[in-house]
Amino acid sequence: MAQLVLGLGSSHTAQLKIPWEFWHLGGEKDMVDRRFDYQELLKSVRPGMESEVTPEKFRERYEACLRGMATIKEAIQRVSPDVIVMLGDDQKEQFNDDNMPMLCIYNGESMPVRSRRRADRNRGDRPPNSGGSASPQRNWLSEQVRADTAPEYPGSPDLANHLLRQLVQEEFDVSRSNQLKPDIGLGHAFTYLYQLWPECNIPVVPFMVNTYYPPNTPTPRRCYALGQALRRAIESWDPGKRVAVMASGGLSHQIIDEEIDELTIKGLREKDPEILCGLPEERLTLGTSEIRNWIIAAGATETMELGYLEYLPCFRSLAGTGCAMGFAVWE
pLDDT tens per residue across span 207-230 = 999 999 999 999 999 999 999 999
Of 328, 254, 244, nearest in space to 290 by CA: 254
Task: Report the C-alpha gap between 60 and 46 in whole angstroms.
Answer: 20
pLDDT of residue 281: 94
pLDDT above 60 (res 171): yes
Question: Do residues 135 and 29 make contact, with C-beta atoms less than 8 angstroms apart?
Answer: yes
Q: How confident is the model at residue 64 (pLDDT cuts 50, 70, 90)?
A: very high
* pLDDT band at residue 200 using 50, 70 and 90 as cut-offs: very high
Q: Where are the domains of the chain?
A: 3-330
CATH architecture of residue range(s) 3-330: 3-Layer(aba) Sandwich (3.40)
Round to whole Å and give the CA distance between 286 and 292.
12
CA 299 to chain centre: 16
Question: How many C-beta neighbours within 10 Å does residue 171 have?
Answer: 8
* pLDDT confidence of residue 295: 98
Cβ-based neighbours of 47, under 8 Å, separated by 6 or more: none
In this model, does residue 141 exceed pLDDT 90? no
Q: What is the mean pLDDT of residues 159-166?
A: 98
Burial letters 126-151, b for 16+ CB under 10 A, else e: ebeeeeeebbebbebbbeebbeebee
Indicate if the pLDDT at residue 21 is higher than 70: yes
Residues 4, 231 contacting (CB under 8 angstroms): yes
Q: How far are the Cα atoms of 23, 99, 113, 126, 202 from residue 159, in angstroms, in the given order? A: 40, 25, 21, 36, 13
Instruction: Tell how strand 321-330 and strand 253-255 pair up.
Output: antiparallel
Mean pLDDT to the nearest integer, 122-143: 40
* Model confidence at 143: pLDDT above 80: no
If we measure between CA atoms, which residue out of 286, 278, 175, 269 comes closest to residue 223? 278
CA–CA gap between residue 29 and residue 127 (Å, rounded): 8
Q: What confidence tens digit (pLDDT) does each residue in 234-244 have? A: 999 999 999 99
- SS3 state of residue 289: helix
Q: pTM, whole model, 2 decimals?
A: 0.89
- What does the pLDDT average to over 15-32? 87
pLDDT of 277 strictly over 70: yes
